[in-house]
Structure 1
Amino acid sequence: MATQLLTGNEAVAQAALDGAVSLGTGYPGTPSTEILERFDALGGRAQWAPNEKVALEVGLGVAFANARALVTMKHVGLNVAADPLFSATHTGVAQGLVIAVADDPGMHSSQNEQDTRHYAEAAGAPLLEPGDAQQAYDYTLQALELSARYQLPVILRMTTRVCHSKSPVRPREARMEAPAPRYERDIPGRVMIPAYARPAHERLRERLEALAGDQAPAALLREEGTSTALGIVASGVAAAHAREAAPEARLLEVGMSYPAPMGPIRAFAEQVERCVVLEEGDPYLYRAVRAAGIEVEGKPEPFRCGELTADRVRRILERDGRPEPAPEAAGEPPRLCADCSHRRVFQVLSRLECIVSGDIGCYTLGVMPPFEAMDTCVCMGASVSVGLGLRHALPAEQARRVVSVIGDSTFVHTGINGLVEMAYNPPNTGHVLLILDNDTTAMTGLQEHPGTGRRLDHRPAERKLRYEALALAMGITNVHTVDPAESAEELERLVRDCLASEELAVIVARHPCSLASRRLAAFQGEGESSGS
């Protein structure tokens, strides 16, 4: 197959196709979103799940059925999927299950910059780290093979630069043969009650020990150079920066960070006078190598934050401890689109001096001037629960001003549980939940979700989630729907009345995102053209 110029995300999708992945599932989150969109465009079977936990559980079911699965998410999504992850390493899998997790050093589009490698070690899931698009392709296929061989889910840790940077990729000549799906009953292996989980934990540790000592991961090690003065052990994109910053150095590129291949690392370190570990994120690999009794240097604490660059790597190697120069002034800060209906909502909330418990989405920009109408933003779905906590604790005159604001995709993701809590444990002053329904997952690039009534490929789904009906089914009778773009006055009246009622109230502010509407119209136009 001819060489292609691909991003890391596109390379993972191509590998999933060439690796005969039966199903790709996940939740959109920058910088991981394009993997499933590309997999779908290539002809693979891909779908958006309501959240990452559901996606991983679906993928696990696929792998139980002796078929291959790819599950995608960003780093904070792994928090949501952590519950099944920790059990999945105990149950094991019958076929390849790859969890592609995109970390975001520097927090370009995230609320934190956590390091997925800690999850891999804690859960006992092997983790591979590609440094460019070719490795993203190769390591995805390698992860599928290792997963099937050791019967463990394998994490593919991507980072922002690898996800979105393009480089040449040469795919394999022939696609892997898809295994025949089947189910073999294994109650002790699949049902994690304590009596079965204890031996499962022992099996997990045995598999990881075998993997660490296996010769197969040799494909995940690459050594370059002959210098005896300076050696660099690097993982992920840090290896590319090391090549640019110190071309004279001897380099050991480690593709499997957990379990790390300590034998080759020890042998490498013994051949050089000075050995430095370079990695993006936490000093995870450095600490593991030092714990194994290998003499290496790590990066100073200030370089733990943000992305690495060739310049930052030079400073690490030169032991340059001077404060880093302040980042260049950014351009215009992000803001809500001029015609976005969310603007009317935040104008109302600001005018009414509400205490706004906010959430993750494009509407988080309501915190910016001129609105400054958001007081908290913690994680996906937290607006409902945090708002309830505020209502429970604040004096009545302040509690009556608290409003929870959440977008439609985020509500489906983890807001529904908050609504259940709201109905089950209502504050004395009631509560007001405002669902901003713009008919898309705007924050990550206009993806679909169960509330849009369309599937990943934008074609109609069989069913559409109705938020009003969901609230009514929970016994909340004060439910309203309003178009904020058509009547900001009606929205303000509703918010005022609901706040004054001291009852539980749900207001669905519904108006389609103009960007999504234009994109959908273009898609439908293309469909009609191709069908004519």
Structure 2
Amino acid sequence: MKKLMLGNEAVARGAYEAGVLVATAYPGTPSTEVTEYIANYSDIKSQWSVNEKVALEVGIGSAIAGARTVVSMKHVGLNVAADPLMTVSYTGINAGLLIVVADDPSMHSSQNEQDTRYYGIFAKIPVLEPSNSQECKDYVKLGLEISEKYDTPVILRLGTRVSHSQSLVELKERNEVGLKSYDYNPSKYISAPINMRKRRVLVDERLLNLEKEAESISINEIEYNSKKIGIITSGVAYNYAKDVVLDASFLKLGMTYPLPTNKIAEFINSCDTVYVFEELEPITEQKIRSMGYNVIGKEVFPISGELSCEILRKVLLNEIKEVLPPFEGLPQRPPVLCPGCHHRGPFYILKKLKLHVAGDIGCYTLGGFAPLNAIDTTICMGASVGMAHGFEQARGIDFAKKSVAVIGDSTFWHSGVSGLIDIVYNKGHSTVIILDNSVTAMTGHQENPSTGKTLSGEDTPVIDFEALGKSIGIRRTRVVDAYDLMELEKVIKEETNAEEPSLIITKRPCILKKGIKFDFKTYVIDENNCNGCKLCLKIGCPAISFDGKIARINTALCVGCGLCKDVCKFSAIDIEVKQ
């Protein structure tokens, strides 16, 4: 039986068929759907963890305990998980441990571009790279087998296009591998220097064996056609290359670390001109050049952003005139906060008060762009809290009274808690605002520790922000309705002026969250009262526009949150009266 599947869905199917028993993750585009699809298989215990480090630590425990395990995250999430990753390379595993990491070339939903292959090199663990959904499924099983054969975690590197494109996948029955015996071996798993010095030697021996495996493994495949042009490629770039030059010869790398140096040498010696066509960093190219071979790579192909058929065609076929820039002439549509978004009110007030705002990763990052323009900095998950304290350390308490940190509920649990503790411990005065919209919104409405539900929908305790704040020594905690602009302004003024740490929790569920009922009305413009001041446009609601004279509200978009009515000084916005 065959089925059309997303790459991420195929990874989940691969986990099921390979007998995986445990799956953990923190949601992050483009990897999120992997674990959401895994949750549909009752044979696999799956969970959202509070961050990627914890997800990997749970996965390591599960694998040592004897269960085949899959841990999923996006590329920047692997930064968070790097600490346990580097050490589990030394300790090894028991049952298979596959770490699924989705890179995001062109930064469609990420703050940077990273090439996860570097982590494989850094940690001395193998990296597999599928090019379509069938391979996504197959490489899960293969990766787990390699993991168990060589006593190592294995990285499965995806990318946005592979994760989110569809192709046919052949479905098979589940292989009930079962639970292996628990591997009680303190000298292997206690990462004390006396043990790890011995393990380091084994890691290097393992890498030599993996290099031999790379030479014979079937996913590193040579396809000889015309030997005038040879292309060494991997992942989604292979598909682009096949679309452009069918008659070229190809070395398709399914294992991109370690590389099959003998097979690469054979291929290069057989072709007249060889191109290395790889997305992001010139990792394969640099390895080949270190072997003494001259290949064509990043001097003609971009090192940043996604590759495409057009890019390769320009280089190989000299068809520049036939290639148009993507979306040329089309209007751009920048992302905006949804109508009725919880975050709009707090950012409007922060901008009005002219406060310095340390921002964070989530939907609310959009508060840093026009027309709200309310955020000054955004670095990484959880950084807002620590950075607010850093600003105070550098510029003093007077600056702290003019600044806040804003962070979402899920991001706070991910990595904001430790920063808040740091403020209290070091006698800081920063004000932290938790934008609690009751869900992990940006990545598609996943549950988190403050929603009361697990990944599988089971009821679970709700962790209380106020109680947490008080337990770590914050005496000033306030809860505010995110739509109540007057109260928001009053509370923010009071807390930023307090000479001690403050915690403000703004409450309103995400307007798109399923199961939430909103008793909102639809608002319209009273043309007789509107004088065209454009103040309502400053809240950045997509439902409001300006026709040159007065404001207009698109009733098809308006959800009736009432913020526009609250900011209007001329009573020009009111509830629509149904005729």
Identity %: 42
Q: Counterpart of 2:494 in 1: which secondary structure?
A: helix
Cα gap change, 1:318/1:287 in structure 2, threshold over 3 Å: closer, same or farther? farther
CA 1:520–1:126: 2 relative to 1, 3 Å: farther
- 2:136 counterpart of 1:155: no
**CA pair 445-330 structure 1, distance change in 2 beyond 3 A:** farther
- Structure 2 residue 512 is matched with structure 1 residue 511: no
Whether the 8 Å CA contact 2:277–2:301 is kept in 1: the answer is no
User: Who is 1:308 aligned against?
Assistant: 307
Deviation at residue 275 of structure 1 after TM alignment? 0.9
CA 337–211 in structure 1, closer or farther in 2 if over 3 Å, else same: same
2:454 is matched with which residue?
A: 455
* 8 A contact 1:290–1:296 mirrored in 2: yes
**Is 1:374 paired with 2:375?**
yes
Q: Give me the whole-angstrom Cα distance separating, in 1, the residues matched to 2:275 and 2:234.
A: 12
Counterpart residue type for residue 430 of structure 2: H
Match runs of 1:371-520 below 5 Å = 371-394=372-395, 396-427=397-428, 430-461=429-460, 463-485=461-483, 487-518=484-515
Aligned: 1:224 with 2:223: yes
| Residues 421/396 of structure 1: CA separation in 2 closer, same or farther (3 Å cut) | closer
Cα shift readout 1:37-56 (whole Å, capped 9, x = no counterpart)? 11112333211000000000
What's the counterpart of residue 92 of structure 1? 92
Q: Which runs of 5+ in 2 are unaligned?
A: 519-579
1:259-274 matched pairs, under 5 angstroms? 259-274=258-273
User: Superposed, which structure 2 residues align to 1:340-359 within 5 Å?
Assistant: 340-359=341-360
User: Hey, what does 1:103 align to over in structure 2?
Assistant: 103
Distance 2:348 2:245 in 1: 53
Alpha-carbon separation, structure 2, partners of 1:55 and 1:311: 39
- Per-residue CA distance 1:479-501 (angstroms, 9 max, x = gap): 1111122x221111110011112
Which residue identity does 1:255 align to in structure 2?
G
1:237 alignment counterpart: 236
Number of residues paired by the alignment?
515
Which structure carries more helix by proportion?
1
- Per the TM alignment, residue 4 of structure 1 is displaced from its structure 2 partner at its CA by 0.8
Correspondences of 1:200-215 after superposition (within 5 Å): 200-214=199-213
Conserved 8 A contact 1:71-1:98: yes
CA contact (8 A) 1:458 1:520 kept: no
| 1:54 alignment counterpart | 54
Q: Distance in 2 between matches of 1:316 and 1:451?
A: 52
| Amino acid in the other structure paired with 1:37 | E
Give how far 1:366 is off. Answer: 0.6
Deviations, residues 198-217 of structure 1 (Å, cap 9, x unaligned): 11111011111111112785
User: Matched residues in 1 for 2:324 and 2:422: separation?
Assistant: 46
How far, CA to CA, are the matches of 2:427 and 2:474 in structure 1?
10
Q: Deviations over 1:334-391 (max 9, x none)?
A: 1111111211100110110010000000011111222100000000000000111111
Give the counterpart letter for 1:479 in structure 2. Answer: T
Is contact 1:300-1:316 (8 Å) kept?
A: no
Counterpart of 2:536? none
Q: What one-letter code is carried by the residue in structure 2 that aligns with 1:309?
A: S
Query: Is the radius of gyration larger for structure 1 or structure 2?
Result: 2
Aligned to 1:39: 38
For the 8 Å contact 2:214–2:255, the answer to whether it is kept is: no
Once residues 214 and 119 of structure 2 are traced to their aligned partners in structure 1, the CA distance between those partners, rounded to angstroms, is 24
SS in 1 for 2:335: coil
Unaligned runs of 5+ in 1: 522-532
Describe the superposition over 1:461-513 as per-residue Cα deviations: whole angstroms up to 9, x where unpaired. 2x22111111101111001111122x221111110011112221000111111
TM-score, normalised with respect to structure 2? 0.86
Q: 1:520 to 1:163 in 2, by over 3 A?
A: farther
| Native 8 Å contact 2:215 2:261 kept in 1 | no
CA spacing shift, 1:437–1:247, aligned 2, 3 Å: same
**Which AA in structure 1 matches 2:465?**
Y
SS in 2 for 1:228: strand
CA contact (8 A) 2:95 2:180 kept: no
1:137/1:171 contact within 8 Å kept: no
Shift of 1:320: 9.1
Structure 1 residue matching 2:505: 3-state secondary structure: strand
What is the TM-score of this pair, normalised by structure 1? 0.93
1:332 is aligned to 333
* Contact kept in structure 1, 2:434 and 2:504, CA below 8 Å: yes
Cα offset, 1:111, TM superposition: 0.3
Q: 1:330 to 1:293 in 2, by over 3 A?
A: farther
* 1:292 positional shift: 2.2
Cα RMSD over matched residues? 2.0
Q: 2: CA distance between counterparts of 1:153 and 1:357?
A: 36
Give, in angstroms, the shift of residue 518 of structure 1.
Answer: 3.5
Which amino acid in 2 is paired with 1:84? P
Q: In the alignment, is the contact (CA less than 8 A) between 1:217 and 1:256 conserved in 2?
A: no
Query: Which shows bigger deviation, 214-223 or 57-66?
Result: 214-223
Aligned twin of 2:255: 256
SS at structure 1 position matched to 2:158: strand
